Amino acid sequence: MTSQTVPAAASGTWVLGDLTVNRMGFGAMRLTGSAAFHDGTPSDRGRAIAVLRRAVELGVDHIDTAAFYFSRLRSANELINSALAPYADDLVISTKVGPARDACGGWAESARPEELRGQVEENLRQLGRDHLDVVNFRVMGQESISEHFGALSELRDAGLVRHLGISNARPEHLAQAEAIAPVVCVQNRYGLDAPDRTGMLHACAEHGIAFVPFFSIAGEGREAGALRGEHDEVRTVARAHGASPAQVRLAWILGQGSHVLAIPGTGNPDHLADNVAAGALRLTRDELQLLDSIGRSAS
C-alpha cells in the first residue's frame, strides 16, 4: 500500500484524559541504537532526529519514551528534545518511571515510591518541559503498586504530571491504581503472537481506558526488533492488500478495539512512513479471524 502521504489521522483518535491523540503513535526506544539500551551499534543522530520530525509531519501526536531509554551514545529523551522543542501544543509525550539504570547502563532495583519524584524530574529535565503529559508506572514484579501510584498521584496534584497510566500490569494493579487516581492508559506487551493472557485488553475497554501494546511488531525480538520468520497467515493477508507484514500486524492491533493505540518504533524513515500508513489499512472480519488463529496457537 502507498505509504508516503498517509497521515496518522487515518488511524482514528482516542482521548487520554483530556488529550486527543491519533491512534497511530511512535515509540522512541529504538532511536537509541541497534541494541536499544547499551551495547550494539549507536544510532545515527541526524537520522534519528529526522525520523522524529518526519513523524510529526505525518501527524503523529503521541510519542512514547522514558529516561531509561538510553544507550552508550544516545538518549531518547535528548533526541526528542533536540528534534521537536519547542513542542507543538497538540503533541502528547508519554513517559515511564519505575525501572532504574546506572550511568553504565546496568539495571538497578526498581525505584522506591519516594524516588519516583527524582525520575519524573529527570524526564522533565531531559525533555525540557515543565510538566509531563502522561507518566506510566512500570510494574516490576510488585504485588501492590498502591504506594508507588500514590506517590505519582501527589506529583499529579503538584502539577508536574498531567495524567497517569500503568505498564506491564495485571487487572489487580489497575484496580489498585484506580482506587487512588484516574488511569488513562495501560501499556502491556501484546501482539499477534503475544496473547493478552491477563485480560487487560478487555478490562481497559470496559473502563474506557486506552490499551497501548508494546513489542507489537518485534514479538520475541523485543528491544532488538523482529527476529522471527513471518507466519504464513500474515503473509497471505499482506499479499491481499499489497502491504508489508509489519503493516498487517499494526492493522490487526488497531482492529482489536477503538481504545487500542499503537506505538511502533523505528529509526528508519521508510519504515516510519510504512508504519504510519498502516493506520489506514482495514482488515476484513475473515482476515482478522485468520490472524487471530496465530494467537490461539501461541496460548
Which active-site residues does the annotation give? 69
Nearest partner of 120 among 132, 103, 138, judged by Cα: 132
Distance CA 129, CA 81 (A): 9
Q: Between β-strands 19-22 and 13-16, what pairing exists: parallel, antiparallel or unpaired?
A: antiparallel
**Rg, C-alpha atoms of the chain:** 18
CB contact burial 266-298 (16+ within 10 A = b; e otherwise): bbeeebbbbbbbbbbbebeeebeebbbebbeee
Contact 196, 259 (CB under 8 A): no
Which residues does 149 contact at the CB level (< 8 Å), separation at least 6?
Answer: 137, 164, 166, 176, 177, 180, 181
Nearest partner of 188 among 210, 208, 163, 156, judged by Cα: 210
- End-to-end CA, the chain: 31
Distance CA 75, CA 65 (A): 10
